[in-house]
Chains A and B, each alone.
Chain A
């Protein structure tokens, strides 16, 4: 990172990311999240989900997590959503977009979701006092290095998450095998 910018941040200059960015990104994320669950056409849902993922990636950047934001854009918006769009185009879309979109038990589901929302609201309202009302400023230049140290280890020692990282690679291998076997003509 540019040392001039760094010293400007340290000297208490106002950060570039103003609260307006947060409200814009959060509003965009929630609005397109609503579009995801209400659109009739699954392709429109997928495109709305991409908008949600990108605005959530913007929120990650505001949370000093540039590496996770990059992973979010590359893996989610780039990889997983392409997979979704391929599958939407493989299964026939015309018939299912003419059918009923919500299942018969939707009032029950909506009531359950509203109960969950009430639970979240009460937790947030009651726990309000536990949160600090100011964010401490953090160094953002070394984020990716620190994550790499925790994942891959540092100076010949295993990192804190190296074992979990290897298990995750095993999980991905199993997922690849599962996906290939599921899509074979004859199982």
Chain B
């Protein structure tokens, strides 16, 4: 079987990214939208690590670590907002978050 190259990883990352985008754009449940964002961030990390492997240096891996830090911060704040929202409106549907909508 052919050797696994950078291109293979890029294809997997593109698939995961598109799945995450579909989740963000179509789901109503905010928790699942946040999980789809995690999927997107994972796809980006996979790309960074594949290129880091291709060029043989560590910059991609360090960027991936910083992206994981970002993902943790984003999940904490996002879920905090979600709990505050649920306390006020008793729902977790994205299309009912429309107080700022004119």
Q: Is the CB of B26 within 8 A of A103?
A: yes
How many interface residues does A have (CB within 8 Å)? 89
| One of B4, B39, B53, B81 near A36 (C-beta < 8 A) | B39
Q: Known contacts being A29-B12, A91-B82, A101-B28, is A36 close to B23, with CB within 8 Å?
A: yes
| Separation of A111 and B61 alpha carbons in the complex (Å) | 33
Known: A84-B79, A135-B54, A183-B84. A22 touches B8 (CB 8 A): yes
- What residues on A are CB-neighbors of B14 within 8 Å? 117, 120-121, 124
Q: In the complex, what's the smallest C-beta–C-beta distance from A109 to chain B, in angstroms?
A: 3
Main SS of the interface on chain B? helix
Using a CB–CB distance below 8 Å, which chain A residues touch chain B?
A: 18-20, 22, 26, 29-30, 33-34, 36-37, 39, 42, 45-46, 49, 52-53, 56, 59-60, 62-65, 67-68, 71-72, 75-76, 79-80, 83-84, 87-88, 90-92, 95-96, 99-106, 108-110, 112-113, 116-117, 120-121, 124, 128, 131-136, 138, 143, 146-147, 150-151, 160-161, 164, 168, 171-172, 174-176, 178-183, 187
